[in-house]
Structure 1
Amino acid sequence: MCQALTEVVGNRLFEASSFSETLEQLHSQRDIELVFLDLNMPGNEGLAGLTEIQSLFPDVLVVIVSAQEEPAIIQKAITLGASGFIPKSASITCISQAVTQVLDGEQWLPDNMAETIANLPPQDDVTERLAQLTPHQFKVLKMVADGLLNKQIAHELDISESTVKQHVSAVLKKLNVINRTKAGVAFKHAMGMH
């Protein structure tokens, strides 16, 4: 797959072996337009990496590259802002077509998948609601889902505890849940984390 991507994008391709390395590349190489994100990359849990990139780098396009081809996962990825999905088995022609279309501002899915996804029942409400969170709210929710307390979140993000409380209550309201535990469960379920 990497070799095929290099053929399509040429020497402008930066590789990362983990999700944290991907974020480092995005922070240091400010002109990155497109990220190919593997759902099974070390450090990337389900669709959480997609939403993190989207919240930190809103102008970067993200295409999911995966051997997992379940239509429901792909539908969630698109709902959460992915610009496309390329199966790992895709041909060079297919990858080239996807890159061109995505860089032109369009979404890209393999032909057989586009129809399947269009016929799926509508996305669950929580995924839609997650897509409405601000970058700060998303970060706070991810930390809540990881079991961190307000004090720990405040320390991690270098903000006051009262700001964390405001973010948490905004998240609960947007997700329409009554407490942190339910918010964390909803987040993990929507991200495909177990």
Structure 2
Amino acid sequence: MSYRFLIADDHPLFRAALRQALSAVASDAGIEEAESLSKAKSALLASADFDLVLLDLGLPDSEGFTGLMALRHQHPSVGVAIVSAQEDVVVMRQAIALGAVAYIPKSEPLPSIVEAIRTALNGHTWLPQSAKELSGNPAEAQLAERIASLSPQQYRVLCMVADGKLNKQIAAELEIQETTIKQHVSAILRKLGLINRTQAGVLLRSLQQGGRLQS
């Protein structure tokens, strides 16, 4: 079986290290690279036939979990493994709760990175030992499930709401009726268990900054 991988990282040396790890997993793997979130999205739009995306949290055009959340909503069938210099165990577990199949600190040795990739390809989640030892937060996991329940269009609307755009502006940008936007906003608030759009904006900005989920 020939695997296809997408490396989304803006550091050439680390992309080379990930190529080495991927080649150790499958010597005949097809590997593409992107140095930004926008280029990663373009690669996935051109062909979503990737087995795994290795996504850096610190891409120049992404903030916090923005990239992870966008890729998971736009391409739910493609696995996303986070690779990051950030080693906060709460952030690691939060990434898994938001749909990542693995969280790989950049400080991990090559054998561990290979192990993480193989684990993800086998359908299991992978975390470094330090994160496994931290008990999970049920409220975080529950809210992550609610976010995952949003449709791609609802997620786009949520992002625009967080940017402070009015329903009329969102409707014009998405080229749909304002009444449809109102329906989306109502559905978003219901799914997330929130009262108003201000709370929705605060929640998304918190996630984008990589902070703790707030229930």
Please state whether the residue corresponding to 2:22 is helix, strand or coil: helix
The equivalent residue for 2:138 is: 122
* Number of the residue aligned with 2:5: none
Percent of aligned positions that are identical: 44
- Is the counterpart of residue 190 in structure 1 residue 211 in structure 2? no
Alignment-mate amino acid for residue 150 of structure 1: N
Work out which of the residue numbers 5, 30, 35 in structure 2 matches 1:12. 30
What stretches of structure 1 of length at least 5 have no aligned partner? none
Aligned to 2:83: 65
Contact 1:78–1:84 (Cα < 8 Å) also in 2: yes
Indicate if the aligned counterparts of 1:172 and 1:183 stay in contact, CA closer than 8 A: yes
Report the secondary structure of 1:152's partner residue: helix
Supply the distance in 1 between the matched residues of 2:193 and 2:31 (Cα, whole angstroms): 41
Residue 132 (1) aligns with residue 149 (2):
yes
CA distance in 2, matches of 1:91, 1:6: 14
Give the Cα separation in 1 of the matches to 2:145 and 2:113: 28
Counterpart residue identity of residue 138, structure 2: P
Gaps in structure 2 of 5+ consecutive residues: 1-13, 24-28
Of 10, 16, 31, 1:3 maps to: 16
**Helix, strand or coil at the partner of 1:58:** coil
Q: Which one of the candidate residues 168, 177, 181 is aligned to 2:194? A: 177
- Residues 32-87 of structure 1 deviation map (CA, whole Å, 9 limit, x = unaligned): 12111111101111112111101110111000111111111111111110001000
> Distance in 1 between the 2:195 and 2:63 partners?
25
1:46 aligns with 2:64: yes
User: Per the alignment, in what secondary structure is the counterpart of residue 17 of structure 2?
Assistant: helix
Letter in 2 for 1:33: D
Contact 1:126-1:190 within 8 A present in 2 as well? no
* Offset, 1:120: 4.1
What SS is found at the alignment partner of 2:96?
A: helix
Give the counterpart of 1:78 among 65, 86, 96.
Answer: 96
Q: Which residue of 2 aligns with 1:163?
A: 180
Question: Which residue number corresponds to residue 152 of structure 1?
Answer: 169
More deviation, 39-48/173-182: 173-182
RMSD: 1.7
Name the TM-score, length of structure 1 as normaliser.
0.91
Quick check: 1:85–1:110 contact (8 Å CA) kept in 2?
yes
* Counterpart Cα distance in 1 of 2:96 and 2:208: 12
Describe the shift of the 1:106–1:24 C-alpha distance in structure 2 as closer, same or farther (beyond 3 A).
same
Report the alpha carbon displacement of residue 142 of structure 1 after superposing the two structures with TM: 0.8
> Are the counterparts in 1 of residues 52 and 78 from structure 2 also a CA contact under 8 Å?
yes
Q: State the alpha-carbon separation in 2 of the partners of residues 80 and 102 from structure 1.
A: 15
- Equivalent residue letter for 1:122: P
Aligned partner letter, 1:57: H
